[in-house]
Amino acid sequence: MPWETETDLRNIQHVIGEATILLTDERQILSKNAVMAKLQQLGETESDDRRVLLYWNARKVLGYIRASVTGSTLPADYARWSDAGNDDDR
């Protein structure tokens, strides 16, 4: 695995969240591939070698995920709950 400590894992989770937020701010579709592409973009513009490695490791972690989760694959109760707070203010 690309992490050795709990802190490493939290940092990886943080940059995945950062990439996800940036995509939503840009009103992009969220998918595993989109997040991986954003992480690559962030890594290519980063000058701190530790951050570059962090982005690379985050992409590696996402690479272990086999398929995206969609509403049709979620349990029915969870899908209903996730739509309940949607105010359609797009």
Radius of gyration of the chain (CA): 15
- 78 pLDDT higher than 60: no
Reported as a single tens digit per residue, the pLDDT across 25-48 is: 999 988 889 999 999 999 999 999
Mean pLDDT of 40-67: 90
- 74 pLDDT higher than 60: no
Please check whether residue 52 lies inside any domain of the structure: yes
* Model confidence band, residue 49 (pLDDT cutoffs 50, 70, 90): very high
Contacts of 42 by beta carbon, 8 Å cutoff, 6+ apart: 15, 18, 19, 22, 55
* Model confidence band, residue 66 (pLDDT cutoffs 50, 70, 90): low
Query: Total domain count for the chain?
Result: 1
**Euclidean distance between CA atoms 75 and 78, whole angstroms:** 5
Please check whether residue 89 lies inside any domain of the structure: no
Domain that holds residue 70: 6-84
**Euclidean distance between CA atoms 80 and 22, whole angstroms:** 26
